[in-house]
Amino acid sequence: MNDESKSSNSSRSDGEPETVRSTTPIWIILLTLMLLFLGSVYFDHHSGWFSSKVYSPYTSKDEVELYQPKSGAAAQAAHGRQVYQFVCGACHGVDGMGKPGQAPPLAGSEWVNANGFHRLAQILLNGLNGNLQVEGKDWNLNMAAMGAGLSDADLAAVLTYIRTSWDNKAGAVTADDVKAIRAAVGGHPSISAAQLKTIPE
Amino acid sequence: MRNGVIVFIAAFIALGVSWCGFVLAPVMQLGTEKQAAVLNSSDVYPIGRPGEANQGLQVYRANGCAACHTEQVQQSGFACDVMITSAGTNPPAVIAAWWRMQTNFFPNEMTQRFYSVIPNSGGVPQFPFERVRKEIADIAVESFQNVGAKAEIHIIAIGPDIERGWGLRRSVAEDFLYDQPVQLGSLRAGPDLANVGARLPDANWQLVHLYAPQALVKNSTMPPFRFLFEVRKIGNAPSPDALQFSKAFAPPAGCEVVPKPEAKQLAAYLSSLRADAPLYEAPFTPIMTKP
Amino acid sequence: MNPKENFDSNFGEASVPASRLVTSLASPIDASCRVPLLVLFSGAALWLVVGLLLSLAAVMTFHKPDMFADCPLLTYGRVQPAANDALLYGFCIPAGLGVMLWIFARLSRAELALPLVPVVAANLWHFGVLVGVVAILLGDSTGFVWLEFPRGGSALLFAAFLLIAISAVATFGQRRECELYPSHWFLLAALLWFPWIYSTANLFLVAWPVRGVAQVAINSWFATNLIFVWLALVGLGTAFYFLPKLAGRPLQTYYLALFVFWTLILFGSWMGITVSAPLPAWMSAASSVAAALTLVPVLAVAIITFKTVRGVPHGGISCKGEPFCYIKFGTAAFVLSALMLIAEACPQISRVIGFTWFGPAQVQLQILGFFTVVMSGAIHELLPCVMGFGLPFPKLVRLQHWLFMPGIVLWAGSLAVGGVAQGMKLGNPQTAFADSTAAALMFLRVGTTGLLFILLGSLLFATNIFIMTLKWKLALFKSLLAAFKAPLATPSASASLRRDRAVAEGKGGEVKP
């Protein structure tokens, strides 16, 4: 490289800056090309090819698809168990056997295994107090309302979980069912045991 | 380059290409975003904020809260936990299957902790595999089912933010659907607020914290926002809104601290901040979060 | 050739300190820039001081959190963006535009075209900044980073920029030779860049806001193109003009500069979207690739600078604090701040330093360490020629350099180190969050000393410019008085004075800062 080969207008004498016209070093062009190549490899691996549904750290749509949690009954059961253990388990026991003097059992309870789910749903939504017979024993109940803190999907999942676990054989409940019941009786004050029997199953 | 026009065209092309990439494409791809379905649920996400919380966003903007707080949760990875829900009738076979897989998948290391055991199951672990790839989790679930146990896979999001309890998944486009302006923030001089509504749901806590951060968080560097409150003489009856403080932060005797509407709006906005619905692009198995 | 231009040929030698180039007569080219440049620079100098004062007020929150607890105007969340905007819109852009006008006039070897237009525009610009900064302090910010000014202020800035651009392009069009110098490319591109990004950001974010996170993408694009690309275009355009001029040897080399230009505008404009942003992966992936490719122009800038100043007296690291030093230090700061920006775009590194004080450190280094230093060096160098008399306190130039250099190293350096310390703790969920803020706190407090140094330096800068403006006004007043007393004064009361008079009369008292 010749540092002294000045540009054509080197005849300037007015002090304006000039440039040297030697060629660009080849290595910097090679570096650019190499970075371009590596960059396209990186982009190919990490971009999810312009999908609006692929976010880092996922790298492709297939991967996002692979890691979707299971849907349907299995997922609802898992969700229901989590809600149950978190909200209900403390009193009713993780095994659904209840706690003497505190909360009646849910496993095998006639109120849980009823044909319809309206009574059970209302207990969860609005709470329950008073004397109630469960599996042949008298319970003096004072259960708080759970409706405000749980979404329809949470309630449906936990209702389904209660009605299908521990050898209970009642059917599943959907979020739409809960939504309808909530719309009808949500925000109702705590129901008494006597009122419970007047609610259709 | 000899000609000004060529320079102009060069700059035009370079900026035009990046304009198409980072202005036009995002507007087309994300500007028409709609509510999304929450995974395995009939709910949609997000639901707009209540009016007071929306006014609170404007208080948040006006006072530049985003200068110190982010509203974005980072996620560095994702994995599966395998959970056995029922040991079935032959617990020793389940344990044998677990050990076989353990030596197959992780021959060199004992990666899995034996931290909880299913009750009455002869020592079957509740989480035989944690933080494994989906492929391994699928095989494990199948193997456990073959020996009579019931197992399921939990998808979990991983990252320091998530372990800190700042969120359950990364932030995605839907979280900001109704925000105007989107207050993402870029500096964590204070903690992330993406899920502060889930973490600290009590609006009264927020009000006390806004008036005197150091009363609730020792050595906090947050400036107090006393100008959002009114310190006034207690009239005939104390205001129902008046805040309670410990001695060091209490107003002078005979006075009470009452939040101005802006403070209430800001607290409502903070309480409304939560971005923890499982979505298609940020999946996880929902864990019970609502109390 | 015009005999008055002989003066310039001496000027090119680095060995001649600026103070000795004092002459009572400026060339007509330089003189034609006088009024617009004075308006632009004196306003800019004022905003530099105001911006740094606001920065100081902002950082005081970390010394004493409840300092401004009862004063909504000075709460951190308002002062901090106001300080940044005062520095960027108040100082950086008008100073850059002023230097650009002068470089265009010099390189075109023609007088500034439409000299009245930039005078009006400069006043409009500084008024717009005032509106914007006051609005931010009153809580009327838009909430978008670097775009906090509300509509009124933004509209004024946009109009003012277009007016100055018209004058700049007209001056550019007057050039006698077709061949362009590298500075031409950078500065011309900057003239296109700002109106485009500013109008896009204002239209899509403020006037008719798009929905949801598309705002984030546009805001990041705007911020990067303004803080990184625009400042780089103008700062490097200026540096590539002054480096060879002050070193007394040609720029090394033409094609390397061309290479920098192309790669900078092609790749730099795609940076800015981090991996954590709630945007689809392709955007952050594209940004990361662009950041890696931006290594090339940054490397090339370092090579050009090194090869151009090598072997020249005071060409190395040694320096005495003359404008040459400013330009060298500024270019080095550019390379460093660009490397920091590239590091932030690397997903693995950003896991550690993302959301920490490292980001503000990079911005402060870019704005103060690179742009402000290059601009103050250029202004110190060109102002004596433009005014036709030397700086009133030439020693302050050196003093300012010796305040700026350690100040910037201390301020940006401690923010960056504090950011890394903070990030280490932030990335470890077992450490309490309070520990991460505490880790950065000490560095912030140390860095405040650096900020004080910079503030003192900026006061010296403003002093020189204001005294110069005063002296010029006094001289103008005297000559007007003389002209009034003796209408047939000698022709040697040069043409430039007459022009100044015309401009000043046309504009009334517009030269007030």
Res. C117 pLDDT band, cuts 50 70 90:
very high
Of A68, A87, A108, the residue that ends a domain is A68
Per-position DSSP letters for C428-458, written without gaps between them? -TTS-HHHHHHHHHHHHHHHHHHHHHHHHHH
Contact, C371 vs C97, CB < 8 A? no
Q: Are residues A90 and A17 in the same domain?
A: no
| Calpha distance A196→B106 (Å, rounded) | 55
CATH number for the region C26-507 comes to: 1.20.210.10
Q: Are residues A31 and A89 in the same domain?
A: no
3-class DSSP state of A130: strand
**C210 to chain B: closest CA residue:** B31
- Min distance A8 CA to chain B CA atoms (Å): 13
What are the 10-residue block averages of pLDDT along chain B, 291 residues in total? 85 96 95 85 84 95 96 94 83 87 75 59 79 91 88 90 92 93 94 92 92 91 94 87 86 90 96 91 71 34
| Calpha distance C128→C145 (Å, rounded) | 18
Specify burial of residue B151 (Cβ count, 10 A radius: 0-12, 13-18, 19+): buried
pLDDT of the residue at B102: 83
pLDDT of the residue at C116: 94
Q: Are residues A62 and A92 in the same domain?
A: no
List C-alpha distances in Å: C111 to B273, C106, C174, C335: 59, 8, 8, 34
**Do A15 and C245 lie within an 8 Å CB cutoff?**
yes
Hey, which chains touch A, using 3+ CB pairs under 8 Å?
A: B, C
Q: Give A12's DSSP letter.
A: -
Res. A74 pLDDT band, cuts 50 70 90:
low
CATH code, domain with A188: 1.10.760.10
Pick the CATH number of B77-158 from 3.30.1390.10, 3.40.50.1240, 3.40.50.280, 3.40.50.11930: 3.30.1390.10
Residue type, C425: K
Q: Give B240's DSSP letter.
A: T
Q: Give B50's DSSP letter.
A: P
3-class DSSP state of A55: coil
| Calpha distance B162→C308 (Å, rounded) | 51
Q: Give me C43's structure tokens.
A: 């306003």
Per-position DSSP letters for B158-218, written without gaps between them? ESHHHHTTS-SS---GGGGTT-SS----S--SS---TTHHHHS--HHHHHHHHH-HHHHST
**Do A57 and B76 lie within an 8 Å CB cutoff?**
yes
Contact, B71 vs B60, CB < 8 A? no
Domain residue limits at A165: 73-198
Q: Give me A85's structure tokens.
A: 């253990």
Res. A103 pLDDT band, cuts 50 70 90:
confident
- Chain C positions touching A19 (Cβ under 8 A) are 181-182, 244, 250-254, 257
Which residue in A57, A71, A152 is closest to B40 by CB distance?
A: A71
Which residue in C72, C212, C429 is closest to B182 by CB distance?
A: C212
Element (H, E) at A134: strand A128-134
CATH number for the region B49-74+180-272 comes to: 1.10.760.10
Q: Are residues A90 and A153 in the same domain?
A: yes
Q: Give me C167's structure tokens.
A: 């004058």
| Count: domains in chain A | 2
| Calpha distance A139→A154 (Å, rounded) | 27
Q: Give me A175's structure tokens.
A: 């979020």
Q: What is the pLDDT of residues A166-195, one digit of tens each?
A: 777 777 787 788 888 888 876 677 777 777
User: Chain C within 8 Å of A70 (Cβ-Cβ)?
Assistant: no
List C-alpha distances in Å: C109 to A9, A15, B213, C38: 14, 11, 62, 20
| Calpha distance C286→C53 (Å, rounded) | 38
Conformational region of residue A128, where left means phi above 0, alpha means psi within -120 to 50, and beta covers everything else: beta
**Do B42 and A53 lie within an 8 Å CB cutoff?**
no
Hey, which chains touch C, using 3+ CB pairs under 8 Å?
A: A, B
- Chain A positions touching C27 (Cβ under 8 A) are none
Q: How many CB atoms are located within 10 Å of the residue C351 CB?
A: 17
**B227 to chain C: closest CA residue:** C70
CATH 3.30.1390.10 boundaries in chain B: 77-158
| Calpha distance C398→A16 (Å, rounded) | 25
Higher-pLDDT residue of C365, B86: C365
List C-alpha distances in Å: C286 to B12, B274, C291: 20, 29, 9
3-class DSSP state of C492: coil
Question: Whose structure tokens read 């000045």?
Answer: A6
Q: Give me B237's structure tokens.
A: 């009856």
| Calpha distance B2→C258 (Å, rounded) | 11
- Chain B positions touching C422 (Cβ under 8 A) are 188
Q: Are residues A171 and A81 in the same domain?
A: yes
**Do B290 and A151 lie within an 8 Å CB cutoff?**
yes
Of A26, A43, A68, the residue that ends a domain is A68
**Greatest extent of chain C over all pairs of C-alpha atoms, in Å:** 85
Residue C361, C-beta contacts closer than 8 angstroms, at least 6 positions apart: C340, C412, C413, C415, C416, C418, C419
Per-position DSSP letters for C191-204, written without gaps between them? HHHHHHHHHHHIII
Q: What is the pLDDT of residues A109-143, one digit of tens each?
A: 887 888 778 888 888 888 888 888 788 788 777 78
Residue C263, C-beta contacts closer than 8 angstroms, at least 6 positions apart: A32, C293, C294, C296, C297, C300
Q: Are residues A96 and A142 in the same domain?
A: yes
Q: Are residues A78 and A152 in the same domain?
A: yes
Backbone phi, psi, residue C67, to 5°: -60, -45
| Calpha distance C61→B222 (Å, rounded) | 8
Nearest to A190 by CA among A152, A147, A149, A154: A147
Q: A198: cis peptide before it, omega within 30°? A: no
**C73 to chain B: closest CA residue:** B63
Backbone phi, psi, residue C179, to 5°: -55, 135
Higher-pLDDT residue of C286, B248: C286
Q: What is the pLDDT of residues B213-236, one digit of tens each?
A: 999 998 899 999 999 999 999 888
Q: What is the pLDDT of residues C189-231, one digit of tens each?
A: 999 999 999 999 999 999 999 999 999 999 999 999 999 999 9
In chain B, which among 27-66 make CB contacts under 8 A with chain A?
29-30, 33, 38-43
CATH 1.10.760.10 boundaries in chain B: 49-74+180-272
Task: For an interface test with A, give the residue of C27, C241, C296 to mutate (most A CBs within 10 A).
Answer: C296
Residue C61, C-beta contacts closer than 8 angstroms, at least 6 positions apart: B221, B223, C67, C68, C76
Total residue length of chain C: 513
| Calpha distance B273→A47 (Å, rounded) | 29
Which of A48-57, A130-139, A179-188, C13-22 reaches the highest mean pLDDT?
A: A48-57
3-class DSSP state of C126: helix
Nearest to B228 by CA among B273, B268, B281: B268
- Whether residue C186 is predicted with pLDDT greater than 50 in this model: the reply is yes
Q: Are residues A60 and A85 in the same domain?
A: no
Of A68, A101, A124, the residue that ends a domain is A68
Hey, which chains touch B, using 3+ CB pairs under 8 Å?
A: A, C
- Min distance B120 CA to chain C CA atoms (Å): 34
